[in-house]
Amino acid sequence: MILNKYFLSVFFTACFTLNSFTQENKALVEPDSSEVLNEVLITATRTKRQLSALPLPAQIINKETIQQSGAMRLGDILAEQTGLITVPDFGGGEGIQMQGLDSQYILILVDGVPLVGRSAGTLDLNRISVGNIQQIEIVKGASSSLYGSDALGGVVNIITETPKKDWHGTLNYRTGTLNTHDLSLNTTYRNDKLKLSLFGNRYSSSGYDLTPQNALQTVEPFSNYTAQVKLAYSFSTATTASLSTRYYSQNQDYKASESLQGESNIEEWNAHFKLNHQFNSAWSSSLELYATQYQTDEYLNDIADAALTSNGFYDQRLLRPELRVRYQPNTQEAFIAGTGYNHETLSRTDFSESPTFNSAYVYLQYDATYFEKLNVIAGGRLDTHNVYATQFSPKVALRYPISNSIAIKTSVGRGFKAPAFRQLYFDFTNATVGYTVLGYQAVPTALAAMQERGEIANILIPVSSFDDELKPESSINLNLGVDYSFSKRLTFSLNVFRNSLTNLIDTRIIATKTNGQSVFSYTNINESYTQGLEFNFTANAIKNLNISGGYQLLYAKDKQAEAAFEAGQIYARSAANSPAFALQKSDYFGLYNRSRHSANLKLFYNIPQYRMNANLRATYRSKYGLSDTNGNGYLDRYDRFVSGYGILDFALTKNLGKHLQVGVGVDNLLDFTDAQNITNVPGRLLFGKLNYQF
Amino acid sequence: MMNIFKSLTAVSLVLALSSCSSDDDTAAPLEELESETVTNLYAPEIGGRVEPSSGDFTKFDFETGSETTSETDWDVAFRSTTILVNGGSKTGITDEPERTADAAVYIASGTLASITEVDTSLFAQDTTEGPAIAIGSGNGWYNYTGEPYHLIKPIPGTILVFRTSEGKYAKVEILSYYENAPEEPDGLSDATPYYTFDYVYQPNEGITTF
ipTM of this predicted structure: 0.77
Instruction: Give the type of residue at A240.
Output: T
Parallel, antiparallel or unpaired: strands A154-160 and A106-110: parallel
Of A571, A589, A693, A552, nearest in space to A631 by CA: A571
Which residues between 503 and 532 in chain A have a beta carbon less than 8 angstroms from any beta carbon of chain B?
509, 512-518
Beta carbons within 10 angstroms of residue B171's beta carbon: 22
DSSP assigned state of A46: S
Q: What is the pLDDT of residues B140-163, one digit of tens each?
A: 999 887 766 788 989 999 999 999
Q: Above 90 in pLDDT, residue A526?
A: no
Which residues between 141 and 200 in chain A have a beta carbon less than 8 angstroms from any beta carbon of chain B?
none
Average pLDDT over residues A222-241: 96
Does residue A570 or residue B9 have the better pLDDT?
A: A570
Average pLDDT over residues B67-78: 95
| Cβ A585 vs Cβ A563: under 8 Å | no
Instruction: State whether residue A104 is helix, strand or coil.
Output: helix
Burial of A536 (0-12, 13-18, 19+ CB in 10 A): buried
| Cβ A414 vs Cβ A393: under 8 Å | yes
Distance from CA of B110 to the nearest CA of A (A): 7
Parallel, antiparallel or unpaired: strands B58-61 and A222-234: unpaired
Q: Is B148 on the interface with A (CB under 8 A)?
A: yes
Q: What is the pLDDT of residues A318-370, one digit of tens each?
A: 999 999 999 999 989 999 999 999 999 999 988 888 999 999 999 999 999 99
Q: Above 50 in pLDDT, residue B5?
A: no
Check CB contact under 8 Å for A432 and B50: yes
Number of cross-chain residue pairs from A and B with Cβ atoms under 8 Å apart: 131
When CB atoms are compared, the residue of B92, B154, B184 closest to A457 is: B92
Does residue B15 or residue A66 have the better pLDDT?
A: A66
Neighbouring residues of A215: CB distance < 8 A, sequence distance ≥ 6: A255, A257, A258
Q: Which residues of B touch A630 (CB under 8 A)?
A: 153, 156
Please state which of the ranges A156-160, A169-173, A236-240, B151-155 shows the lowest mean pLDDT: B151-155
Check CB contact under 8 Å for A626 and B148: yes
Rounded to the nearest 5 percent, the helix, strand and coil shares of chain A are: 10, 55, 30
**DSSP letters for A175-206:** EEGGGEEEEEEEEEEE-SSEEEEEEEEEEEE-
* pLDDT given for residue A623 in this prediction: 96
Question: CA nearest A629 in B: which residue?
Answer: B145
Q: Is B44 on the interface with A (CB under 8 A)?
A: no
Check CB contact under 8 Å for B47 and A515: yes
| Cβ A518 vs Cβ A511: under 8 Å | yes
Q: Which helix (H) or strand (E) holds A550?
A: strand A545-558
Q: Is B61 on the interface with A (CB under 8 A)?
A: no
Distance from CA of B72 to the nearest CA of A (A): 24
Q: Above 50 in pLDDT, residue B44?
A: yes
Q: Which residues of A touch B185 (CB under 8 A)?
A: 576-577
Cα A331 from Cα A354, distance rounded (Å) = 49
Please state which of the ranges A106-115, A235-244, A406-415, B6-15 shows the lowest mean pLDDT: B6-15
Q: Is B92 on the interface with A (CB under 8 A)?
A: yes
Average pLDDT over residues A204-219: 89
Check CB contact under 8 Å for B182 and A433: no
Virtual CA dihedral for A563, A564, A565, A568, nearest 10 degrees? 120
Please state which of the ranges A176-180, A251-255, A477-481, B49-53 shows the lowest mean pLDDT: B49-53
What is the residue extent of each domain of chain B? 3-11+31-202
First and final CA of chain B: distance in angstroms?
29
Beta carbons within 10 angstroms of residue A281's beta carbon: 9
* pLDDT given for residue A12 in this prediction: 42
Check CB contact under 8 Å for A577 and B176: yes
* pLDDT given for residue A27 in this prediction: 37
Residue in A460, A506, A571 to test binding to B, most B beta-carbons within 10 Å: A571
Q: Above 90 in pLDDT, residue A691?
A: yes
B27 pLDDT tier (thresholds 50, 70, 90):
low
Average pLDDT over residues A429-441: 87
Cα A107 from Cα A325, distance rounded (Å) = 23
Instruction: Give the type of residue at A392.
Output: F
Q: Which residues of A touch B127 (CB under 8 A)?
A: none
Neighbouring residues of A190: CB distance < 8 A, sequence distance ≥ 6: A163, A164, A165, A166, A196
Neighbouring residues of B26: CB distance < 8 A, sequence distance ≥ 6: none
Q: Within 13 A of B67's CA, how many CA atoms are on the CB side? A: 19
Average pLDDT over residues A232-250: 96
* pLDDT given for residue A18 in this prediction: 40
Q: CA B55, B58, B63: angle at the middle one, nearest 5?
A: 155
Q: Above 60 in pLDDT, residue A1?
A: no
Q: Is B173 on the interface with A (CB under 8 A)?
A: yes
Cα A397 from Cα A57, distance rounded (Å) = 10
Q: Above 70 in pLDDT, residue B1?
A: no
* pLDDT given for residue A91 in this prediction: 57
Q: Above 70 in pLDDT, residue A494?
A: yes
Burial of A516 (0-12, 13-18, 19+ CB in 10 A): buried
| Cβ B21 vs Cβ B13: under 8 Å | no
Average pLDDT over all residues of chain A:
90
Q: Is A572 on the interface with B (CB under 8 A)?
A: yes
**DSSP letters for B10-32:** ---HHHHHHHHTTT-TTSPPPPP
A40-693 fold:
Maltoporin; Chain A (2.40.170)
Q: Above 60 in pLDDT, residue A160?
A: yes
Which residue(s) pair with B144 in the sheet? B152
When CB atoms are compared, the residue of B114, B139, B182 closest to A576 is: B182
Q: Above 60 in pLDDT, residue A544?
A: yes
B26 pLDDT tier (thresholds 50, 70, 90):
low
Q: Above 80 in pLDDT, residue A37?
A: no
